[in-house]
Amino acid sequence: MKIQIFSDIHGDLKSLECAIGQPADVYIAAGDLSTFRRGLDRCGAALQKHAERVWVLPGNHETADDTRELCARFGLVDFHRQVRQLGPTNWAGLGYSNPTPFNTPGEYTEEQIAEALAAFNGLAPLYLVVHFPPYDTKLDEVAPGKHAGSHALREWVEREQPEMLFCGHIHECAGKTDQLGRTRCFNVGKSGYLLDLP
């Protein structure tokens, strides 16, 4: 089974077409299809060709209501704060980001992130898809030595140790990988990451 995970399209339809042009069984849009909520319908129309095989998270540029309405309109799956199964594996999704300097519509406090992640405690084997990266990793470095990820997410990953974590949000780190304990972590970016599940 192939799962294509991508993030941070920001209305770039050419990049979106490339991401969903990869043959896959499931496509996961890990947030920020839009920029400040603009361009969502155009992305929804492009994603509609794969319909219920597309799972969508809100990034920090969308709200949960935006994503819920988008999924209802175009026949997609709202994956925000949900757990779904693919074969013997559990997949959990959490959109939004930790606080940013930009006052974007989809932001959680660290306390809200911790509360949301608690719903996924004990799930195994677990593959976690979030919009934002864990703090102080190769996935969240916005400038040399300057990290902008979530402390609460890092603490949760170190404790729960999901199999894999996929994120986006920090454009400068797209395509980078890191490891937290036994958890393999990927910033998928708009080019995406194709996972082949056995």
- The structural domains of the chain, with segments of one domain joined by +, span 2-196
Task: HSE, CB side, 13 Å, CA atoms: give it for residue 161.
Answer: 3
Task: HSE, CB side, 13 Å, CA atoms: give it for residue 12.
Answer: 14
Cα separations (Å) of 108 from 59, 117, 138, 153? 11, 12, 22, 12
Q: What is the CATH class of 2-196?
A: alpha beta
The pLDDT profile of the chain, 198 residues, written as one tens digit per residue, is: 999 999 999 999 999 999 999 999 999 999 999 999 999 999 999 999 999 999 999 999 999 999 999 999 999 999 999 999 999 999 999 999 999 999 999 999 999 999 999 999 999 999 999 999 999 999 999 999 999 999 999 999 999 999 999 999 999 999 999 999 999 999 999 999 999 998
Cα of first residue to Cα of last residue in the chain, in angstroms, is 7
Reading the block at residue 63, the tokens are 């709200």
User: Can you give the pLDDT at residue 198?
Assistant: 85
